[in-house]
Structure formats: structure tokens, C-alpha cells
Structure 1
Amino acid sequence: MAEIEIPPYFVCPISFQIMEEPVTTVTGITYDRKSIEKWLMKAKICVCPVTNQSLPRSSEYLTPNHTLQRLIKAWILSNEAKVVDNQIQSPKSPLNRIHLQKLVKNLELPNCFQASMEKILELAKQSDRNRICMVEVGVTKAMVMVIKKKFKEGNTNGLEEALKIIRLLWNEAMINNMMKPLVGKNMDFMNSLTWILKIYIDTNNFEMVNEVMPLLKLTIDVVDSNLLGNLNIEFFVTMVRVLRKRRLFSKQAIKSALYVLIETCPLGRNRTKIVEAGGITELIELELEKPEKNVTELVFNLLAHLCSCADGREQFMRHAAGIAMISKRILRVSAATDDLAIQVLSVIAKNSTSKEFVLEMLQVGAVSKLCMVMQADCASYLKEKARDILRLHSTTWNNSPCIQLYLLTRHQR
């Protein structure tokens, strides 16, 4: 079959594909809607790709080119070309702002609330164009207000839709610098999410726990750090519960929980609160399941923070597998993990003089691993840390038959 020559004015200047939904910009150039909207959404400076003239970012300034649409459709049919299901699909009408504003207004009416929430979620899922429009007309703010209102009322109606809508709109709202003023200036939204998460854990709503945890992670990034230092114990109990029930939730939810704990750990008395909630025990149990590399790095990061306080070290030492687990991961995961693992062993070795601890390090292979670090291709500062730990209890370890003598004597000064 001979090649069919495509009329050049049927082709989008960005994608170089036949346009499915041609729209004309204010500069007079026609593009496929998906291509130009993606261009405008990601561009730091909005200019026409062909003329280099300034363009408004909003999609409301894109005019559907119905004449060209009909010509392309007729040409495809006449040439039996296949674009989408043997024909170009009719374009969806752009989201009507007035209709959207009415949906937001209807959220205040009890009889219309649920239907409006479901419709907004449906529209948010459809396209980037819809999500941009929603952010511009204030849907993000409306959803934040819904969540905080439901928290105060103790009412869960509409929460699932509100949470999903906020996640869909978050990136666009961040581009417009909207999220910090909405959720980062006080603890209302954080407290609401904690309450919601607890309900979903209690009711075994695993799907929504998976929805809330990434949203909580995003929220932590915009909340003022001085506020995070005042988180209550209930918040950390809830985070640790997510780790405890880890097999029920997605990997993303578990990573989000670890990230949240790492970000909040250094502030105020949060370290003590995480330990009080049983955090170290659950971290060790999680690591014993041999998770993927980036999860291990998060776990060790958090353990290093928590073991810097006395309560944390005490809880770590109470776990029968703590020292063994740390030792086993050295030289097996990553350089970052090695650094954190030796940091944990160092702080525990310096603060624990009990005979049981010294013998345990020997029996589970921690001393051997430190000697291996001395011989491995590691950073010099890491070898120095390992040497310092070995010196702390060298008298006991030198006299033990549990380790080959040359491993210790080679590194004495």
C-alpha cells in the first residue's frame, strides 16, 4: 500500500502527530490540545513554541478549531487511516468554570454535598486541564475546608472524595504556591489527617490508609517546622501503627510513614515520643523482613536519630535481634546504610558498658563486621569510626575465642 501523505496543517507542531483535538492559541497557531496544555503547564515561561510570543497559561484562551477538526476527520475516513478506534474522537468540552463554581457552592447544601463531591472527583480524574481549572477557581481550598470541618464534626461523610481530590490537585496547587498558606500555618489540617488515618486503620480501610499516608508526607513538607515540634503522642502512635500493620498497606504508604517520622524526629521532644510509641521495636521488625534498599536506608536513618537518646538506646537493646540485624546489614546494602549502622553501634557502645552487651556484639558478629569494615574499600572516616568502636572494649574482645585474633590485632595501635 502506497504511503499516504499527511497534510502538514493536520500535524501538531509539538507532537508531530495528527491532531485529535485542534485548538488555536492567541498567537494564531493551532496545536493539539493535549500537547499545548502539557507545554503550558510545564513551561517556566509561557511562550508559543512556533512564534515565541507570550501565551497565557490558562487553557481558557485556547479556542477549539472545529473547522479543522471536521477536515481531519473527513480526511482520515477517506483514507481509512486509524488514529483512535478508526476515527478521531469528538473532543470533550472544556470544563465550564461557572458550572465548577456552582459545584463548590453546592458543598454548603447538605442535600447536594455528596453528589457535588463525587462530580468534582470525576472531573479531577479526567485531565490536567480540569485540574488546572479547579485550582484556579478554589477547589483545593474548598477540599481543605471540607476535611477540617468534618474533623470538627466527627463526620466522615465525603472524606474519601475530598482526600482523593486534594492529592490530584496537589502538584498544580504547589506550582501556584497555594498549599503552604492552606495547610502549613497551623496544625488543623495535620490533626484532621491524623484523626482520619486513625479511623481508617481502626476500620481496616486499607485503600484509604494508602491514600492518606502520601498526602500526610506532602503536608509535612509545607508545615512550619516550629509547629511540628509540638506534635502530640497520638500522632506518633498512629504512625507506628502503620508500621506495625505494614503487611496490609502499600509500599508507598510505609515509605511515607518512615519519611514523616524522619522529618519530625529531630524537632522538640519528638524522638522520645516515637520511642514511647514503640517506634524502635517496629523498625527492627520491619528491617528483619528484608525490605528493599531504599526502605532499609530510611529505617537506619530513623534508628540513628532515635538511638541518640537514652530511651531509644534502651528500647533498641531490649530487642533480641537489634544488634544482630544492624551488624548483618553492614557492607551488604549501601554506603549510606554502612554509615548509619556504624553510627548506631558507636553510640550504643559508648553508652553501654554492660558485660551482656559487649558479649552480644561478639556473639552476633558485630565485632567481626567492624573488622571487615577496616579491611574493606570504605571511606577513611568510616574506618576510623569502626576503629574507635573496637578500641572501646578491645580487652574483652581480644581474649575471646569467638573471633580470629588477627582481625583485632591487625588494627591496634
Structure 2
Amino acid sequence: MEEAQEIEIPCYFVCPISMQLMKDPVTVSTGITYDRESIEKWLFQCKNSTCPVTKQDLSSTDLIPNHTLRRLMQEWCTFNAYERIPTPKAPVEKSQILKLLQEAKASPKSQINCLHGLRSIAHRDESSRNHLQHAAGAVEFLVIVASKNEDAMNKSEALSILHQIQLSESDSKKFLSDNGGFLESLMQVMESGDCQSRAHAVMLLKSAFYVADPKHLIGSKPEIYKQIVHILRDNISQQATKTALKLLVELCPWGRNRIKAVENGAVSALVELLLGTEERRACELVLTVLDQLCGCAEGRAELLAHGAGLAIVSKKILRVSNVASERAVRIICSITKHSSNSRILNEMMQIGVVSKLCLVLQVESSHKTKERAKEILRLHSRVWKDSSFIPPHLLSSYPLP
């Protein structure tokens, strides 16, 4: 019996970027044809302005569907019993978006119709979202609606579309610099919007600050931390919670931001969150932020003031991941170095913190975590070394002072 031969795809059906069979061939201004998904990623996500094959600058980012090549490919697929590529939907034209934006100026009702039209485009596919993000005036229109419109539904709609198309780096920086109203609007939605709108608002805020200049990070307002803590306490969704935590990770190292976060209740919110979650990534993020906040006296004081603060941090050591263990040991190190007294040291024995540090030395963990645990135990060996609270099998690993 003859073996089935592998079908060889003609080279002119293969995208020069992905090296795979094209599904939606489009031609750029240099005359080279690519698969739409690959060339749009090259142009819009990777921020290139040249033709990948010829390296020439593109005179335009317009992509012209190559219908002739697509039909040839479909015929070839049919003839060779190869999975037939579907006929793609007609792409959204920039003129369609511009027409919607122009009509929005006529009346409030036209503005609502425009929002519905833009939402339909954003829901369509990745290509349509790219067109929407780069269409002149589209993002600005959505930001204005989100910032100034008094109708909560319209504001929510605009934020939802902005979240879907994602703000570019340049747009994010622009609206942090020039449009205080947009930032204030995000704060308002995070405080009193519905769950979905609040989630979209914190995600947009995180995207903006992720690419922000240091001056915007340092100058972030206390109100931002108040609303981030509000999101954490309400736990509206896992995605919103993780985004809020990542935002704190981004903001806290700058200037007096740690103190702003502490003053707005971040430490207690983080401890409560840690008490209620076993999910690995969430635990790692919470412990990372607590580690940052314990870098200041105010943060350490708040952690110690919480009845479960030290206990839950200690509990996560060796129970989540190496990253979580390292962060938790760092937090305990900050406490023992800068904020310890006889009461706290005795409490750490009673709730098992010292036993957990001894256990770290006996089991497999990162070198840094072991060394830090040794450092903590040596530092207070006079108080802890002969404690009855440490089981004998753990006490045997206590490091020499």
C-alpha cells in the first residue's frame, strides 16, 4: 500500500511573516501580500511602519484585500481536499467609523447611536478593533463621553469599548497629561459604577499607569488608592482584583505612594484578601504589595495592628509557591529588623512564625529565602533559641548566632 503523500502548499499561499497558509490575504503599499492577522500584528501591536519583506517604509497602512489570490487558494484547497479557508467578512473601513463620529455631533440621540455602532465594531474581530483604535477621533470621542457624559449607561458603554480596543501607549500618556477629567471619571466609576464598569475602569487605569512617565506615577493622587482599596474590598471579580493588585505593584515603589496606600487602608484590605484566597497568583501579588508597604514604618505598623496580619503572612510560607515564600519571609524580615519589640517577638513565637522559619531551613526552598530566614533567626536568637513553642525537631535546625 502506498503511503499518503503530504500535500505541499504553494509558496505564494504562505504568509512571509507567519510562514503558514494565509486565511485572509491582503496587500500593502509595497505590493507584497500577507495574511491580515500577521501584518496587522506587525503594524499595530509591534508598532512597525515598514514592509517586513522589502524593509521599505509604507506610504499607507491601508490593507487591500487580495480577492484573486484568496479565490485561487480556495480552489486549490477544494481540489486537494485541504481544509477550505472561509471567505472573510468585509473589513471595517475607516470611512464607516468617521461617518459614525461625524453623525454623533448632531444630537444626544446620534451620540447614543454612534456608541452602539462603535460597540458593534469593537465586538466584531481583532482587525476591526485595530481600525477603531487608529481611526482619527474615535478614542478621543470615547474619552469625552466617559469623562463628561452624565448618563451612566453612556459612560459605561464608552468605558467598555475603550477597554476592548485598549488604549495605545501614546493615548494613555496623553490622557494622563492633558485630560484630568478622564482620570476623575475613572475614579467616579470605580466608586459608584456597576461591577462591570468598575472592572473596566480599573483595567484602563492600570493600562495608563503601566506606560506613564515617572512624574505621573510619583504625583498620583490619594483618591486613586482609596478607589483601588474599594475595588479590593468589594472583590467584584477575580480579574478586577488582580488588576488592582498589579496597579499597586506599579505605583507603590514611587515617591510617597506607599504612605498614600497605607493611609487609605491598603494593608488591612490586603490582609483580608490574603485570608480569603488560596489562588497562587493572587497570593503572590498580595504578598508583593505587602512587602512594598512594609518598607515604610506606617505599613509595618498597620500590619502589626491587624490581629491576623503576621499569622496569615507566615501561613503562606511554603504553602503557595517559592515567590510567595520569598515575599512572606521578606515581610517578616522587615518587621524583625525595624519594628520588633519584646511583645512582637513573643507573639511571633506563639503564632508559629519562628517554627515556620526553622522549617524553611529544613525543606527545599530558594537560597535567598533560606539565607534571609537564617538572618532573622540569628538576629533574635537570644529570645527564640530555647523557646518551648518551637518543636524539638525544628529547634535542632536553629542556626548558631
Q: TM-score range by the shorter chain?
A: 0.7 to 0.9
1:143 aligns with 2:142: yes
Is the alpha carbon distance of 1:394 and 1:73 closer, same or farther for their aligned partners in structure 2, counting shifts above 3 Å? closer
Q: Which residue of 2 aligns with 1:47?
A: 51
SS at match of 1:137: coil
What residue is the counterpart of 1:240 in the other structure? 229
Pick the aligned partner of 1:104 from 101, 104, 107. 101
Q: Cα 1:244–1:342, aligned 2, differ >3 Å: closer, same or farther?
A: same
Aligned residue for 1:309? 296
Alignment partner of 2:345 out of 349, 358, 373: 358
Q: Which structure 2 residues correspond to residues 241-320 of structure 1 after superposition, within 5 A?
A: 241-246=230-235, 248-249=236-237, 251-320=238-307
Q: 1:408 to 1:106 in 2, by over 3 A?
A: farther
Q: CA deviation at 1:112?
A: 0.5
Preserved CA contact (<8 Å) 1:186 1:227: no
Deviation at 1:385, TM superposition (A): 3.2
Root-mean-square deviation (CA), in Å?
Answer: 3.5
| Aligned residue identity for 2:174 | P
What is the CA deviation profile of residues 83-109 of structure 1, one whole-angstrom value per residue up to 9, with x for unaligned ones?
Answer: 36xxx43x5444333332232233333
Alpha-carbon shift at residue 66 of structure 1 (Å): 4.5
Equivalence for 2:190 = 197
Q: 1:158, CA displacement in angstroms?
A: 1.7
Match of 1:183 among 176, 182, 185: 176
Cα distance in 2 for partners of 1:17, 1:168 equals 27
Q: Give the partner amino acid of 2:140.
A: K
Preserved CA contact (<8 Å) 1:370 1:390: yes
What's the CA shift for 1:239?
1.1
Residue 166 (structure 1) aligned with residue 167 (structure 2):
no
Q: Is the 8 A contact 2:233 2:269 kept in 1?
A: yes
Structure 1 stretches lacking a partner, 5+ long: none
Moved more, 39-48 or 137-146: 39-48
Pairing 1:411–2:368 present = no
Q: What is the TM-score normalised by the length of structure 1?
A: 0.80
CA deviation after TM superposition for structure 1 residue 38, in Å: 4.5
Give the whole-Å Cα distance in 2 for the aligned partners of 1:22 and 1:288. Answer: 52
Of residues 210, 215, 222, the one that matches 2:199 is 210
User: Following TM superposition, by how much is the alpha carbon of 1:34 offset from its aligned partner in structure 2, in angstroms?
Assistant: 4.3
Percent of aligned pairs sharing the same letter: 34
Q: Which runs of 5+ in 2 are unaligned?
A: none
Q: Normalised by the size of structure 2, how large is the TM-score?
A: 0.82
Is the contact between residue 222 and residue 264 of structure 2 (CA under 8 Å) also seen in structure 1?
Answer: yes
AA paired with 2:261? Answer: I
- Deviation track 1:360-394 (CA, whole Å, cap 9, x = no partner) reads 21122111122233344555554443334224443
**Contact kept in structure 2, 1:10 and 1:18, CA below 8 Å:** no
The equivalent of 2:332 in structure 1 is 345
State the distance in 1 between where 2:213 and 2:20 align: 46
